[in-house]
């Protein structure tokens, strides 16, 4: 399980990142008003398993929820995650349907 404390919001590079061993997984984003646009998911081959991806995305969504931001997933992989995890659909801004 990913420890949320290990998750870093690198606002200089505009990405959430987590380092496992020598591998860096990241989600790039753009912040506008009270909305965060999740634009790209990058997971190294060594970490590519569905369970890691789910845990990483859950940790990112929890951190975003703590900041009280709406989420606009522009990455197809992240949109697919939101569709399959109904509890995060409430974080979508009004009028955004995926």
Residue 97 lies in a domain: no
Domain of 23, in residue numbers: 4-91
Given a cut of 70, is residue 93 above it in pLDDT? yes
Comparing 6 with 40, the larger pLDDT belongs to 40
Task: Give domain status of residue 52, yes or no.
Answer: yes
CA distances from 48 to 30, 43, 82, 88 (A): 24, 6, 19, 22
Query: Where residue 84 sits, what CATH number does that domain have?
Result: 3.40.630.30
Q: Is the pLDDT of residue 5 over 80?
A: no
Report pLDDT for 1.
54
Q: What is the reported pLDDT for 65?
A: 94
25 beta partners = 18
Query: What mean pLDDT do residues 52-66 have?
Result: 94
How is residue 93 annotated by DSSP?
A: P
The answer to whether residues 27 and 60 touch, using CB atoms and an 8 Å cutoff, is yes
Distance separating alpha carbons of residues 15 and 95, to the nearest angstrom: 25
């Amino acid at each position: 399980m990913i420890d949320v404390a290990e998750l870093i919001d690198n606002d200089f590079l505009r990405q959430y990142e987590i380092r496992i061993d020598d591998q860096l997984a990241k989600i790039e984003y753009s912040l506008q008003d009270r909305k965060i646009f999740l634009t790209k998911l990058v997971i190294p081959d060594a970490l590519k398993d569905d369970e890691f991806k789910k845990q990483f995305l859950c940790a990112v969504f929890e951190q975003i929820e703590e900041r009280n931001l709406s989420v606009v997933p522009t990455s197809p992989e992240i949109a697919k995650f939101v569709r399959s995890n109904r509890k995060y659909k409430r974080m979508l801004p009004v009028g955004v349907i995926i």
